Structure 1
């Protein structure tokens, strides 16, 4: 990963979900890459720190307690905990973003996404939800929230692809957080990851939207079939829609 910028002392891919679409309340739901010890407050997110943090990463990605644990209530919500990401299944899931996202929205892992909706709807705000890059689990979670609130596909795609401009900074922060033994020789496990995985192309999130649209009842039907409920949707709308 030569040519990376110096890792910033603040979140590299953070924004208020309300920036994605007109009519949403600011200061309620934030999305980002993973916070790190010593981070400065991110520009544009207020109030800060968040009252609640939804950490969507797996245990092997963390290495230490969430850096916001001293100021925020942290909810560990491993979106991919129940996905079969070992051996050949892992290679298949990481072969493309569409394959990875398909793993996320099918079977047991899908219930994790509906829980993100519930936490954003009811936990003390502001609620920050994040994974490692703030792109995949975070991006699909944002897409689900926006679609459930009735926003068009183009709004969802624009919010998702906005991450592409931040990816160099995100990767620099991820590499900084890797164990020294992995980076001492100038190498990184990221070098073996397909380039698409490190980008945010529109086609990736469109594959998710296509799957939701094809479900009986559309996105709402998918949500209800995977553990969601109408009461939570009412709470989500009352909280986020101005």
Structure 2
């Protein structure tokens, strides 16, 4: 990886790219931004007005690199799920199921609510933009009626970006400073660096068993008015 590659988000895309009929420029998803990053290609307008940061405290700097331009909302999903950033001993499916249970489930609901109601565009990110971001974006897409197949395709699309994600995390890229970001890749099981369809399908199956994503969202404390707001905002 070159310095030029490391200075750009490796796993960034507009949520609207997941399916036809969604409005661009409303919600973005990505891996973690670093200070000194180039503006991402294909995400406009940039910078976002709101950033929803799903990382734990030990993964992030004290001050978010987009704090000068955006309102930062911290929702540490793994902490809420009772898991550490490296989540040793867990399978992807087990990790994702933990994220849609208990306090973590309410946190995922909070992410969807922020996408629906916070000043936009809204950027949702974690470290890789795959697991916490993947589950959260899957909920957003489910709530606005995107087909299951397209939600799975959007999740799996991250697999092709993981080489760049891992390079940025390993380098601890910070505008060339090389500062560590609190993630020890050697502690992360190999499965956690992949994006298999079965992992997100397990989440979609759980929501289906609960009566659908909207029923699950409401059961976890979400508001019907926020579902309506999400659809009004994201559906073209």
TM-score scaled by length of structure 1:
0.89
Alpha-carbon distance in 2 for matches of 1:144, 1:182: 31
Alignment of 1:65-80 (within 5 A): 65-80=63-78
Instruction: State the structure with more CA Rg.
Output: 1
Give yes or no for contact 2:172–2:180 (8 Å, CA) kept in 1: no
Q: Matched residues in 1 for 2:17 and 2:34: separation? A: 23
What's the C-alpha RMSD, in Å, of the aligned pairs? 2.1
**Distance in 2 of aligned mates of 1:91 and 1:173:** 21
- Aligned residues between the structures: 229
Q: Indicate yes or no: 2:52 matched with 1:35.
A: no
Structure 1 segments, 4+ long, off by >4 Å, are 178-183
- Superposition deviation, residue 8 in structure 1: 1.7
> Is contact 2:88-2:189 (8 Å) kept?
no
Give 1:189 deviation, angstroms: 2.7
Correspondence for 1:160: 155
Work out whether residues 36 and 67 of structure 1, in 8 Å CA contact, stay in contact via their aligned partners in 2. yes
Structure 2-normalised TM-score? Answer: 0.91
Distance in 2 between residues matched to 1:48 and 1:168, nearest whole Å: 24
Match of 1:128 in 2: 123
Map of 1:102 onto structure 2: 97
Partner residue in 2 for 1:13:
11
* Alpha-carbon separation, structure 2, partners of 1:14 and 1:218: 27
Paired residue secondary structure (1:80): helix
Among residues 219, 223, 226, which one is paired with 1:225 in the alignment?
219
Deviation at 1:80, TM superposition (A): 2.2
* Alpha-carbon separation, structure 1, partners of 2:199 and 2:27: 23
Which residue is 1:237 aligned to?
231
Q: In the alignment, does 2:16 pair up with 1:22?
A: no
- The residue that corresponds to 1:206 in the other structure is 201
